[in-house]
Amino acid sequence: MTIATQDKVLATASLPLAEQWLKEPGRAFINGKFVDHHNTAVIDTINPANGKRLGGFFASGKEDVDNAVAAARRAFRDAAWKKMARRERAFLLRRIADVIRANAAELATLEALDNGKLYKEAFLDDLPESADVFDYYAGWTDKFYAENCPVDEGFLNYTRHEPIGVCGLIVPWNFPLLLAMWKIAPALAMGNTVIVKPSPFTSMSLIRAVELIAEADILPAGVLNLVLGGADSGKLLCEHSGVDKISFTGSTQTGKQIVQLAGVSNLKLLGLELGGKSANIVFEDVPDLQFAIDRSFQAMFSHKGEKCSEPTRLFVQQKLYEQFIEALKERADKIVCGAQFDEQAQQGAQCNQPHFDKIMHYIAMGKSAGFRLVSGGERDMNGSNGQGLFVRPTIFADVDNRHALAQEEIFGPVLAVTPFETEEQVVAMANDTIYGLAAGFWTNDVSRAHRVAAELDAGMVFVNKYGCYDFASPFGGSKQSGWGKEMAVHSLHAYTKLKSVWVKL
């Protein structure tokens, strides 16, 4: 059976299960139990591919958040978790990985239905890493060494990496399950307890994942908690004095609000993975032009452009400029937009109505500015009777790098293309942004490769293949793209506090 055939079979079998599960409203999970909500309205979640109601959930109020924090605090102090052997903790993380793998098709179905992305993207891209990240951090539980410090004679000085405590994890809607697991796995590996809150637009896959983990009876009560809702629930979590750390992935604007909330409560630790407006630079000595074209298009438009590190600004050296644009146009014009389980579809629906409206606003701005519209620039009506939130892959050429189209995060399938003449000119343009998440470039000159990589002001730089990611490599940016790093050993630092111990001999 081919991967494509297996994918189709699993999707067909999982859809009825997911639809049946969605009939009951989702609930918060606190202290090992799902919460009973009384006199609380259900918040609807909408299928972005057709505008129909998908399901719903109960939003968490102040009492729920207070109870979740109290449960997480008790579990953090309880010997069942605090004194658990590292190998045992690693074993539990691997069990969580097994649960996610065993239910990958159902979770991918819920992810696709809720987010609008294609099922094959959820199943093949998101779910494997959602499980694998637990295996990766399970291996770190007994390998995160501290230091013996070379201090003056007469003293022994050493350091300890200790868990922070109660961690609030706030997850965005573009990769709701995967990015939740990116945070949960290292936090638990280091012995913290967590309260995770998904986006109100995409709560379903995480609710179901927590349910499956609970059914498997893997973790002590209170170690993993789930609260639901929008900005109000997030605010309660961020300003709560019983929360020791907030890890947030989302917009820069919301990140700034979280900084204020944390500051006025208890100066809790913050990890912020925020927005981006990443540059992709094609020099005329690109080693493989065809690969550069294919990869640049894929990196930009996969997952309907809803990725923080996507290369939304494309700079092409003048000699290759028109050729590159024409090749991108050819690919964009052929893209088929469609619903999650449409076998012909290559691009899904944008996640939610407000975001769709935002994307269309920026497209209108590009048209009004007079930039050359190469492809797209309109809503795609394919198979949705006008109700699906589909946007054609849109390419604007000859874009002024100072215009909002090239400076503000759109987070959708809208690419701004700009020509350049010299290396110095394009590095200056690439760095001329408030963001610093990622950047990439293509060159056959090894000296230029190292020189430009050093000059680009971004947390991640990709040379001759845009978009390379691995658990062993830090993920995160600089400037207004956030504070701190995720993945690799850096997540372990992010979920521990360092203590220095002096002993007089």
Q: Which H or E run contains 183?
A: helix 176-189
- Phi, then psi, of 242 in degrees rounded to 5: -85, 0
Is 57 in a helix, a strand, or coil?
strand
| 308 among known catalytic residues | yes
| Helix, coil or strand: residue 346 | coil
Cα separation, 119 vs 111, in Å, equals 8
Q: What Å distances lie between residue 422 and 397, 419, 464, CA to CA?
A: 18, 10, 18
Question: Active site residue: 106, 239, 273, 423, which one?
Answer: 273
User: Which helix (H) or strand (E) covers residue 414, if one does?
Assistant: strand 414-420
Token pair belonging to 500? 């220095």
> Are the C-beta atoms of 370 and 353 separated by less than 8 Å?
no
Give the Cα separation of 230 and 390 in Å (integer).
24
The one catalytic residue among 167, 308, 337, 351: 308
| Nearest one of 274, 340, 343, 329 to 300, comparing CA atoms | 329
What contacts 110, CB < 8 A, 6 or more positions away? 18, 21, 22, 204, 205, 208
Q: Give the chain's count of helices (H) and strands (E).
A: 18, 22
CB 129 within 8 A of CB 100: no
Q: How many CB atoms lie within 10 A of CB 194?
A: 26
Residue 163 pairs with which residues in a beta bridge?
A: 496
* Contact indicator for 442, 461 with CB cutoff of 8 Å: no
Please give the Cα distance from 451 to 219 (Å, whole number).
Answer: 48
DSSP code per residue over 325-340: HHHHHHHHHH--B--T
State the Cα–Cα distance between residues 322 and 303, nearest whole angstrom: 26
Q: List all residues 6 or more positions away from 450 whose beta carbon is below 8 Å from its beta carbon.
A: none
Q: Which amino acid is at 197?
A: K
CB-based contact 392:375 (threshold 8 Å):
yes
| Catalytic residue positions, numbered | 273, 308
